[in-house]
Structure 1
Amino acid sequence: MAKVGIFFGTDTGNTRKVAKLIQKEFDDAELVAKPLNINRVEVDDLLAYDYLIMGTPTLGEGELPGLSTQCEAESWEEFLPKMEGTDFSGKKIALFGLGDQVSYASEFVDGLGELYDAFSDAGAELVGSWPNEGYDFESSQALDGDNFVGLVIDQDNQASQTSERVAKWVAQVKSEFSL
């Protein structure tokens, strides 16, 4: 079984595409499993991996995807309550988030911050922080000092930078995962 699991929530499919880019950048099918939508797994599926990469878009007023944000299917909003009481101690988790820094400048990638809080509270060791340089936004719940708590992608306004950002971040995460 692969050591790294990639899980994502999505509405439009952009987060799925980035998850696939991340998998491709690892370039090792034995090491990294195929990305899976969070609405198709159980908590035990996450616990089966040594290392996890989790991704989410931010929707509406800075929310995680889910039925209350008009998504067609369940997503992170419905999955996170299932994790209650689960211990992720000993797991290294890297996060990535998608957002629109122009249209949603005051809640840019807030969903990423929510994922960070959920997995941090569950005892996970979070890695993969990302500098906030090169982004133009007002505020974000995904900031920890001058860094985001994970990779930030803006497919709406900076799609041309996605491949380079993913490549740099995956190299960083490989090192932080000790792979």
Structure 2
Amino acid sequence: MSKIGIFFGSDTGNTRRVAKSIAKKLGEDADAPVDVKKASVDDLLKYNALILGTPTLGDGELPGLDAGASDESWAEFLPKLKGKDLSGKVIALFGLGDQEGYGHEFVDALIFLYDVAIEGGAKVVGFWPTDGYTFEKSNAIVDDQFVGLVIDHENQSDQTDERLDAWLEEVKAELLAVA
């Protein structure tokens, strides 16, 4: 059986820490998380089951040089993934954001990962309810739910483990079915 691939972009390291926590919780079912700045498109495409994570920077942007990140990240990687055939792949998404400081663009970057996955023909799983968050607007909402798990490390870090456990319970079987 193959494993679940976990790929993330990060700037401050919070998304990396969440990716590592996900990998630890999945145990032998997942490979070690990989920062997209160190990955190739082929590295990602070798997996049929993927978990992709991103923070939102700047004005609702993906992490990357244009958003003021210290290194390349999703902003540079995602264009390379556009147009690739992702059919047959199951992808779960997670995003980090600050609902109090950036409630007008809360986890907006998550929609960019979602759009590329859907355009490539992947099945996206793990939609997450908006209940329990206080924000003005988010582009990462489809059919009244976030397109993936949302973590607010700044204001609700005490809920991170509980949210991770509930979300992984929801997505694990679907991911492992294609891994």
Q: TM-score range by the shorter chain?
A: over 0.9
Show the 5 A alignment for 1:22-61: 22-26=22-26, 28-29=27-28, 31-61=29-59
Q: 2:80 aligns with which of 79, 82, 85?
A: 82
TM-score (norm 1): 0.95
Correspondences of 1:121-140 after superposition (within 5 Å) = 121-140=119-138
Which whole-Å CA distance do the structure 1 matches of 2:65 and 2:175 have between them?
33
Whether 1:154 aligns to 2:168 is no
Aligned to 2:164: 166
TM-score by length of 2: 0.95
Shift in Å, 1:174 = 0.9
Deviations 1:76-130 (A, max 9, x none): 0000111132110000000000000001011000001111011111111100101
1:128–1:176 CA contact under 8 A, matched in 2? no
Contact 2:58 2:68 in 1 (8 A): no
Deviation of the 1:145 alpha carbon: 2.3
CA distance in 1, matches of 2:151, 2:120: 25
Return structure 1 stretches of 4+ with deviation > 3 angstroms: none
Q: Which runs of 5+ in 1 are unaligned?
A: none
Report if the CA contact (8 A) 2:94-2:149 is conserved: yes
| Pairs aligned (count) | 177
Which residue does 1:141 correspond to in 2? 139
- Mapped pair 1:68 → 2:66: yes
Percentage of identical aligned residues: 56
In the alignment, structure 2 segments of 5+ residues that lack a partner are none
